[in-house]
Amino acid sequence: MRAIIYSAFGAARDVLREADLDSPAPGPGEVRVALSYSGVNPSDVKARSGNRPGVLKPPYPQIIPHSDGAGVITALGEGVPETRMGERVWIWNGQWRRGFGTCAEDITLPTEQAVTLPDSVDLETGAVLGIPGLTACHTVFNGGPVAGKTVLVQGAAGTVGYLAVQLALWGGARVIATARGAGADRLRALGVDRVVDFTQPDLASAILEANAGTPIDRIIEPEFGLNIATNAAVIAENGSLCAYGSALEPAPVMPFMPLMFKAVTLEMALIYIQTWDQRQACIARLHEALTEGALVCPVQEVFELSQTAAAHQAVEAGHRNGAILVKTARA
């Protein structure tokens, strides 16, 4: 099979290369999937660049990157029902704690990590459901139902934020989003209640004004450290804040007393280590939203396998209007 591999950290064009590898046969409880698309996420490019504290070298001698993807099951290991043969599936945790991910023509992995796609959902969308889709769903719903509540989605024009906005609206929430420029226009088109420019000098006041002065029930946050003071100011008593990143300020000063005297629930979401029950709940909700037409997973660009380095660069550049995919299907 054709695959993209790397064996050292570095810039995408320096370390990513195409190789011909054996397609591994599935072992007991495993399936082999002929992949059509591989999703490229910020965590993939950070892992390839070595941009993780305390990680000095790749954890495996040879790595096929990327955790997300979609394709068709072509081989079954012992114990896997024959009915799975030929299923269209999407992948989660393809390269989490294992060397070989989805940036290849095939992947072999435990059967539960290949999730059957609803008939109405295309494979491109399937390749976005792993990290972005599960993260968005978890951050919206893990604190309980959002119907009748106000949800603030910070950085809502990003891939996760854009999906979270749609899911919160589908869940019956009033949604306030922070974004600017073209991203703000895209969010207004979804029907969010208000969009607030996150560059405003007094962001907390602008958020509260957008909600008629009423504090926020649940906050979804991609930059915990950068925005913790603002979030502490706008969150309601007994509110909840779910953060899934803090790249710009990884070691923030915590305004503990303001948060404590509102009895705020803080949650850090790392989608790779969801519990089984959390993951199954998210999968069910994603599929329901997709089949009801309430969730659209935009794709900005699809690169050929030989262009994987350029795909990584597109993710690193940011300011995207959708996911970045690599086409892995055999010619």
CATH code, domain carrying 230: 3.90.180.10
181 pLDDT tier (thresholds 50, 70, 90): very high
Q: Which two tokens stand for residue 242?
A: 């779910």
In contact, 299 and 128? CB cutoff 8 Å: yes
User: Do residues 180 and 242 both lie within one domain?
Assistant: yes
The answer, yes or no, to whether residue 52 has pLDDT greater than 90, is no
Structurally, how many domains does the chain consist of? Answer: 2
Question: How far apart, in whole angstroms, are the C-alpha atoms of residue 153 and residue 244?
Answer: 12
CA-to-CA separations, 128 to 40, 255, 298, in angstroms, rounded: 9, 35, 9
Q: Which residues contact 35 (CB under 8 A, 6 or more apart)?
A: 69, 70, 71, 91, 102, 104, 105, 106, 107, 328, 329
Find the domain containing 48 and state its range: 2-128+297-327
User: Do residues 118 and 7 both lie within one domain?
Assistant: yes
Asked whether residue 9 is domain-assigned, the answer is yes
User: Do residues 264 and 148 both lie within one domain?
Assistant: yes
330 pLDDT tier (thresholds 50, 70, 90): confident
User: Do residues 80 and 167 both lie within one domain?
Assistant: no
Question: How far apart, in whole angstroms, are the C-alpha atoms of residue 136 and residue 282?
Answer: 9
pLDDT at 39: 98
pLDDT digits (tens, 9 = 90+) for 227-255: 999 999 999 999 999 999 999 999 999 99
pLDDT at 56: 81
Find, among 222, 178, 229, the residue nearest to 199 by Cα.
178
User: Do residues 27 and 57 both lie within one domain?
Assistant: yes
Q: How many residues in the chain?
A: 331
The answer, yes or no, to whether residue 331 has pLDDT greater than 80, is no
User: Do residues 106 and 137 both lie within one domain?
Assistant: no
User: Do residues 7 and 40 both lie within one domain?
Assistant: yes
Q: Mean pLDDT over residues 95-116, rounded?
A: 97
